Amino acid sequence: MAKTQQKVTVTFLGGVGEVGKNMTAIECAGDMIIVDCGVAFPKEDSPGMDAIIPDITYIKENIKKLRGVVLTHGHEDHIGAIPYYTDVLKNVPIYGTALTIGLLKRKLEKNAKKCNLNVIAAGDSVTLGNINVEFIKVVHSMGGACALSIKTKCGTVFVTGDFKMDNTPIDGKKTDVGRIAEIGAKGVLLMLGESTNVERKGSSTSEKVVGQSLENIFLANTKKRLIIACFASSNYRVQQVLTLAHKYNRKVVLAGKSMKAIVDVASACGELHVPKGVIVDSVGKLLPHETLVLATGSQGEPLSALKKMSKGEFNKINVGSDDVVVLSSSPIPGNEKSVYDVINDLFRKGADVIYDSMNDIHVSGHAYEEELKLMLTLVQPEYFMPVHGEYRHQFKHAQIAKAIGVNSKNIVIPNIGESFGVTSKGIRKHSNVQAGNMYVDGVVLEDGQSLVNDRLSLAEYGMLVVLAAVDLERGVIVGDVDVVARGFNLTEDVEKAIRLAVVEGVNGADLDKADIDEYARYVKKSVRKLFYRERQFPIIIPVIVKD
């Protein structure tokens, strides 16, 4: 057998060194599978973009080997990039639990027909070429989440997926520690472990605690209307709200498209049980104490229902002193300002707002340190790679693995684009593959990075348009040079210097070869040089016309 057939190759296309756009390729003996295919959400460093998705050049180059895509669960950072890659994946079977595939189908809309979508249940196995994937139940902030045991000829790769060890989950279905221990006892070559909450000591709190806190809010506010905002994808949270509303005789109005969608999708696949008659279409003539509004927007998202309510722009629901608003979430790092803006506006409108984690109105769906230790103890991997986290999370997770007894030589912190060959004899780093960010602004952009760079330059330094008429035969400027500035403080001196630079630029061009475009390039270069010295990088747009 050829040497290349005896190793498992793991290639990281996203989700390492970052939180978001998880995507990993796993190969053995000529067959490849993809684990997850998610998006990341743009922050200040990529203004105006809709989404960031993984560069999948490596997958396209190896498409002949691709036997399937397996999805751990239905969060955006695990399934969100698939709609952008339906052409690449159209003949490839995609596997996930009912809720995962249900949510994906909704995202794909009419493209769903193009895709080969397959529903499996936790406990099922699928064979993809010479690779066998077993889906194992884990608890997370949404239903249908699985860890994966990926059996290859050259050893087993165990992927934890996003998980926690909640012993009192809402639906009674716990993380299948028994099965994970069995798999561990049989021998796991490599484990990829999620690292999101590695910085949190102890163990995460059960989702059930949130139910108790919410019930206390119901009991303390019997005369007021309740508006509860949470992630639409948190079907357990939605379940608890619906159950409590039913118990306390409140009708529920769903506000926000994704909230309505999750209720439809999750109830259709048995991950949500809606008490009969509890959901109504609109507030209508209901009195405040008979009403509960379940809304999207717990992260202050600009177009969400709660944001619109805070601005008085949600047509049917006017927030005021009859309202108690509960943000059943904690701000994702980076979203703090948008969340607090919404909270400020809700208070301004006279509502009472309950929002901090001190009230136990939110728990995380990701394992804390002690749960990560337990997972490592159950799996007992020979090799370990921390994933699903920024570098500091991965670093701390690596330290934990060492403390648990994984040989430190067998622990690797992977980065995007890195590829490793793993055998029981050792781990070898291959050369990097093309990987990184692809930007989506309406469509997937060919060269999104330069657009992002332009937007950042515009925001920081502004824009200069220089206009000049050039006599192409003599290679000289005719008439005045005009300078128009936007977002740039144009003083008289600077304007003068720019005019001179434009003249120098035109003079620098080769008279015999230069056309309009050539002059524009020279002018741009010359003006740009002027600002280099000041470490300023305004966008420069030369407009050269033929005299």
What residues line the site for Zn ion (CB under 5 A)?
A: 75, 77, 162
Rounded to 10 degrees, the C-alpha dihedral 295/296/301/306 comes to: 0
- Cα–Cα dist 362/355, whole Å: 9
Q: Which two tokens stand for residue 252?
A: 């529920």
CB of residue 307 vs Zn ion: minimum separation in angstroms? 23
Residue 38 φ/ψ, nearest 5 degrees = -105, 175
Nearer to Zn ion, 18 or 323 (CB): 18
CB of residue 161 vs Zn ion: minimum separation in angstroms? 8
The residues with which 251 forms a beta bridge, in sequence order, are: 291
CB of residue 547 vs Zn ion: minimum separation in angstroms? 60
CB of residue 511 vs Zn ion: minimum separation in angstroms? 60
Nearer to Zn ion, 26 or 227 (CB): 26
Report CA Rg, the chain.
28
Strand 539-546, strand 463-471: pairing: parallel
CB of residue 74 vs Zn ion: minimum separation in angstroms? 8
Nearer to Zn ion, 162 or 207 (CB): 162
Residue with the two structure tokens 């959400």: 41
Nearer to Zn ion, 349 or 366 (CB): 366
CB of residue 19 vs Zn ion: minimum separation in angstroms? 7
The residues with which 164 forms a beta bridge, in sequence order, are: 139
Residues contacting residue 51 through CB under 8 Å, at least 6 positions apart: 39, 40, 41, 42, 80, 81, 439, 440
CB of residue 200 vs Zn ion: minimum separation in angstroms? 16
Number of H helices, E strands in the chain: 15, 26
Nearer to Zn ion, 145 or 506 (CB): 145
Q: Which helix (H) or strand (E) holds 506?
A: helix 492-508
CB of residue 281 vs Zn ion: minimum separation in angstroms? 31
Nearer to Zn ion, 266 or 464 (CB): 266
Treating both helix axes as pointing N-terminal to C-terminal, what angle do 235-247 and 257-268 enclose, rounded to 10 degrees? 90
Asked whether 430 and 23 are in contact (CB, 8 A), the reply is: no
Q: Which two tokens stand for residue 211?
A: 């139910």
Nearer to Zn ion, 85 or 163 (CB): 163
Q: Is the dihedral of CA 101, 107, 111, 113 positive or negative?
A: positive
CB of residue 128 vs Zn ion: minimum separation in angstroms? 22
Q: Label each residue of 180-226 as H, E or C.
A: HHHHHHHCEEEEEEECCCCCCCCCCCCHHHHHHHHHHHHHHCCCCEE
Nearer to Zn ion, 146 or 501 (CB): 146
Nearer to Zn ion, 73 or 225 (CB): 73
Asked whether 517 and 510 are in contact (CB, 8 A), the reply is: no
